[in-house]
Amino acid sequence: MTILLAPMEGLLDHPLREVLTEVGGIDRCVTEFIRITDQLLPARVFTRVMPELFNGSRTRAGTPVRAQLLGSDPNCLAENAARLAELGAEGIDLNFGCPAKTVNRHRGGAVLLDEPELLHAIMAAVRRAVPADLPVSAKMRLGHRDDERRIEAAQALAAGGAGELVVHARTKLQGYRPPAFWHRVADIRAAVAIPVVANGEIWTASDAQRARAESGCHGLMLGRGQVADPGLAWALRAADGAAPHPVTWAGLQPGLSRFWALVALKAAPRFRAGRMKQWLNLLRRRYPEAQAAFEQVRAVTDPAAVAAVLGLSTVVVPQSASVPGPPDLTLAG
């Protein structure tokens, strides 16, 4: 089974990619989207979203990371994809799945699924702009307002040169509301000759088994489910016959401290407590201890107080952790 870690704007960024890939079980990550409008972005924009570029396009655990671009201008997307290739990106992923109103209003994300001709033009332009051996993939939903054009959209991307297609099994209008319609992905898989990966509403190993059965897909992309249960990828592999690899709350504590340290590098002090509470809020679906921790810090906004309450240790973040900065940077709280 191929297991991918989803791109999720405002949640699954570099700090969480680092921690979740250290827990293990994940084959590849995709960054949160990098918005492309009308210009070639400087390298610092790409490395800010994807610090893994400093580490061979891999997390510290060695998991490959693919850069995701979002936009609607084929030529501009192609130019920026070429720049990412020069910077050493493992691959390029194109976002045709974002449901955010602001993004869609500016002709980005899922709204483009109503324009298969443009999807083809974007994919073909990006494919031509990067080396032939560099993977180019795409992520889409079942559609914009409905799923009537899902096959046409998928075929346009495949014909444009996509090497892999991830399908979030809901339309833009369905957002993130359960259920996910995995059986509708099966039609897409049958209509294209490239690998198709199912995504959406996979919280448990039993969800994963149903998603694979209904979609016919060998690969799965995990998002909120993996954030809520960092051992989910291992649980999926165990259900497939691999040795069990339980992730206990105690075993997750070094990861929480590392996450806190990486957030301190990335976020201004006033945002740090919110990032920890955001993750704890999801972790409490799986761990009773996370519920208790969340209650302890729910009203706390001071980063030092959060660290003290949760017992977050001082963490040494070397330069090899794929973050820019001096080596052996020690952070506390």
Which CATH code for domain 250-331?
Answer: 1.20.225
pLDDT for the residue 107: 79
Among residues 57, 36, 7, which one has the least CA distance to residue 222?
7
pLDDT at 115 over 50: yes
If you average pLDDT over residues 298-309, what whole number do you get? 95
Least confident interval from 217-221, 284-288, 313-317: 313-317
Per the CB < 8 A criterion, the answer to whether 218 and 189 are in contact is: no
pLDDT at 306 over 50: yes
Confidence grade of residue 104 (pLDDT, cut at 50, 70, 90):
confident
Chain mean pLDDT for the chain: 93
Share of the chain above pLDDT 70, in %: 94
3-239 and 250-331 share one CATH topology? no
Residue ranges per domain, the chain? 3-239, 250-331
| R_g over Cα of the chain | 19
Helix, strand, or coil (residue 197): strand
d(CA 85, CA 83): 5
Is position 98 annotated as part of the catalytic site? Answer: yes
pTM of the model as a whole:
0.92
pLDDT for the residue 316: 46
Query: Could you say which of 29, 76, 98, 217 is catalytic?
Result: 98
Per the CB < 8 A criterion, the answer to whether 80 and 69 are in contact is: yes
pLDDT for the residue 331: 28
Q: Is 323 exposed, middle or buried (0-12, 13-18, 19+ CB in 10 A)?
A: buried
φ, ψ at 25 (rounded to 5°): 95, -5
Share of the chain above pLDDT 90, in %: 89
192-236 pLDDT, tens per residue?
999 999 999 999 999 999 999 999 999 999 999 999 999 999 999
Alpha carbon distance, N-terminus to C-terminus of the chain: 38
58-79 pLDDT, tens per residue?
999 999 999 999 999 999 999 9
d(CA 280, CA 252): 12
Confidence grade of residue 314 (pLDDT, cut at 50, 70, 90):
low
Q: Please list, in sequence order, all residues whose beta carbon lies within 8 angstroms of the beta carbon of residue 55, skipping any fewer than 6 positions away.
A: 320, 321, 322
Dig out the tokens for 299 from the structure. 């009203």
Confidence grade of residue 327 (pLDDT, cut at 50, 70, 90):
very low
The class that CATH gives domain 3-239 is alpha beta
Higher pLDDT, 313 or 124: 124
Per the CB < 8 A criterion, the answer to whether 236 and 205 are in contact is: yes
Among residues 5, 66, 77, 11, which one has the least CA distance to residue 40?
77
